[in-house]
A and B are shown apart, each in its own frame.
Chain A
Amino acid sequence: MKHTLSVLVENKPGVLSRIAGLFARRGYNIDSLAVGRTEDPAVSRMTIVVEGDERVVEQVTKQLHKLVDVIKLWDMTNEEYVDRELILIKVHADPATRAEIMQIVDIFRARIVDIGRNSLIIECTGDAGKINAIESALRPFGLRELVRTGKIALARGQKQKD
């Protein structure tokens, strides 16, 4: 099962490598990892999606907690939370297919952000389900290049407590 962990870390050199190293060394699988600073510039938030059963995820969270640079972390999987991912897709588009692609873009409330001679760059945000759906909807036109940010997430309601 996939778990979504929200991890507040000190914004210090080496933190990302500590965390990535921990996952690699202990054989945990990272599905995605997104990191950026928070309202406090000294603190970054990592959203980590990890695959594993309860026991593995328990070990992952305990091992993360042991890192001095990890301030707090939550397993949000069973909580109410909002999550988003951003995708940029460069899709093959000739005059014959352009209209159809634009229709798909509309349906997903995505945006066209660049037009080339034979391609379009499309930007879309949403949860993983939606992102997967737009990706497969556009696939038949020929995906040139694609980049996804990985999931970021925040718990709903009040600020998260321990």
Chain B
Amino acid sequence: MSITGAEALIKSLEAEGVEVIFGYPGGAVLSIYDALRESSIKHVLVRQEQAAVHAASGYSRVTGRPGVCLATSGPGATNLVTGIATAYMDSIPVIAITGQVATGMVGTDAFQEVDIFGITMPITKHNYLVQKAEDLPRIVREAFHIAKTGRPGPVLIDIPRDVSGVLLEKYEPVTQVDLRGYKPTYRGHPSQIRNLAQMIKEAEKPLIYAGGGILRSGAHEELLALAERINAPVTTTLLGLGGFPENHPLSLGMLGMHGTPYANLAVQQCDLLIGLGVRFDDRVTLSVEHFAPNAKVVHVDIDPAEIGKNVLVDLPIVGDVRLVLEDLLGLVEEKEHPEWIEEIHRLKKEYPLTYGDGKSKLRPQYILEKLAELLRGKEAIVTSDVGQHQMWAAQYGKYVKPNSFLTSGGLGTMGYGVPAAVGAQVGAPKATVVAVTGDGSFQMHMAELATATENNLPIKILLFNNSYLGLVKQLQHFFVEGRYTGVEFTGNPDFVRLVSAYRNACGYRITKPEEVEPVLKEALHNGRLTLIECVISDQELVYPVVPNDKGLDQMIQFPGEE
């Protein structure tokens, strides 16, 4: 029985267990959409292709499986670019499928032709321009294998329209991959792991610095076991939030530019810094020369190229974090460091994460604390956009479960929050999904409200409206003497009315602290797509702030109430 290239593609996707594709059609993917009709795979029609990648990313983060998105050639493909780069920077496995002009037209500047293969080379883990339909099953198998193994990442498959349209004699499934140039190292070197065990034994002030790698490798249980066994406090990166329960006494919350004061101070004091699935990003280290000055530095990561890239390390271990921790747990003994733990308690007490009074006027931090309270014990996923609200969501969200906080860390892509929530809700239909967003970020992808309605996704959008691009305003406040340029919104819509224009959706506006709890409670239980606009002061700032050229102990702290 003959089948088209597109049908072979869809069959191959089904063989990978794909249940949903986020996409947007066009001429170059006609046969793919035609093949999709007969498939068990559900299609979620977004409103702009970038949102399809973010949704696939959100879906992937909550399900642990690669998310799939589909777009047509030319503008459809270029609209994917920011989404792909976002997934690439955060090591999220996403498969992006694009249509392309027919092979005979490639290179002629044909209608809707763009070299998406070339464009996405630096922002994908790997990519393909398919030459023959016969190759599709192999390429799909390879793409999934590459996307989800090793250091995960996006893979793009560009398919010319004649390749998807052509008739094949038969469909031959491919189950094996044979990639001689791709062999990730999973097990850490035993002698290096022994060295780490020895360093832990000798350390008096050990500290664990855990990142997105914990979540990508599913190492949260091993991390907890290690921290408890050796009594080491744990700080996580923005992407690592949820990898270690923030209600645990050893948790220090997030470190870095807007990290908790006690996490940042602890990093500067520790004598052993154990980096697990991290990359010593500049938002974490700030001035590299002043970073963890008293510590021996250990770096465990599956990507050898991350090791030694930004900081020199004393002990490198290449391997999957979960497997390395598993091996390490076989070697390390229990340890107590009462003085260090006492020092940590002192730091937490003397340098708390604070914002002052949340009762007399509406404060974003207070709202997020309340949200965390109401979500406690629930199956809940919080996504965020990018800006001040993102940092508050990171600081006050108190995440206890892996993959319960989804944000664009590496690229800082405004517009991520709502489409990621759409994808997360598709992947976790029973979960309460809340997108924390700002008035700026929301407007980048507010069209996705329609996607949510159409698919009966009761996501909650918690919108912090300060009528500003707050984080940029904050940068201008601190670093260009308050010369505010291009950051004020005077034409924002009435967001509550806006959401009410969508079917089966509703909106609330909060202006006073006493409204927070009742409105959130109602919104979380109404079973509908809901937007909650929180009208907050444009004077709010994210504290602490570590300037770029300073060490983590040189924070600008919350100055207290005026």
Contact = CB atoms under 8 A, between A and B. Distances in A.
Interface in B62-83: none
B181 A70 contact: yes
A59 B305 contact: yes
A18 B305 contact: no
Interface stretch (A60-68, A74-82, A91-99, A126-134): A60-68
Interface stretch (B5-13, B121-129, B463-471): B121-129
B419 to A, nearest CB: 27
A67 B182 CA distance: 8
| Most chain A CB inside 10 Å of its own CB: which residue of B118, B122, B181, B309 | B181
| Most chain B CB inside 10 Å of its own CB: which residue of A63, A68, A69 | A68
A59 B309 contact: yes
Given A66-B305, A68-B179, A70-B181, A13 B129 contact: yes
B303 interface: yes
Contacts of B356: none
Contacts of A17: 118, 121
Nearest to B155: A68
Contacts of B126: 67-68
A68 B121 contact: no
A10 B121 contact: no
B117 interface: yes
Nearest to B122: A25
Contacts of B117: 14
A71 B180 contact: yes
Contacts of A63: 305
B305 A62 contact: yes
Contacts of A9: 181
Contact of B181 (A25, A58, A67): A67
B157 interface: no
A117 interface: no
Interface residues of A, number: 22
Contacts of B182: 68
Nearest to A26: B122
B150 to A, nearest CB: 9
Contacts of A55: 308
B25 interface: no
A25 B181 CA distance: 21
Interface in B99-138: 117-118, 121-122, 125-126, 129, 131
A139 B182 CA distance: 47
Nearest to A55: B308
B305 A69 contact: no
Contacts of A116: none
A44 to B, nearest CB: 12
B181 A69 contact: yes
Contacts of B309: 59
B527 interface: no
B304 interface: yes
Interface string B286-320: 00000000000000000111001100000000000
A21 interface: yes
A68 B146 contact: yes
B301 to A, nearest CB: 11
A65 B303 CA distance: 10
Contact of B305 (A65, A70, A72): A65
Given A59-B309, A62-B304, A65-B305, A71 B181 contact: yes
Interface in A13-55: 13-14, 17-18, 21-22, 25, 55
A9 B179 CA distance: 12
A145 B181 CA distance: 40
A18 B117 CA distance: 10
A65 B180 CA distance: 11
Given A14-B129, A59-B305, A21 B181 contact: no
Contacts of B304: 62, 65
A38 B251 CA distance: 55
Given A10-B181, A14-B117, A71-B181, A66 B122 contact: no
Contacts of B121: 14, 17-18, 21
Nearest to A69: B181
Nearest to A63: B305
Nearest to A73: B181
Interface of A: 9-10, 13-14, 17-18, 21-22, 25, 55, 58-59, 62-63, 65-72
Q: Nearest 8 A-B pairs (CB), nearest first?
A: A62-B305, A71-B181, A68-B126, A68-B182, A70-B181, A62-B304, A71-B180, A63-B305
Given A10-B181, A66-B303, A71-B181, 5 more contacts: A14-B121, A18-B121, A21-B121, A59-B308, A68-B125
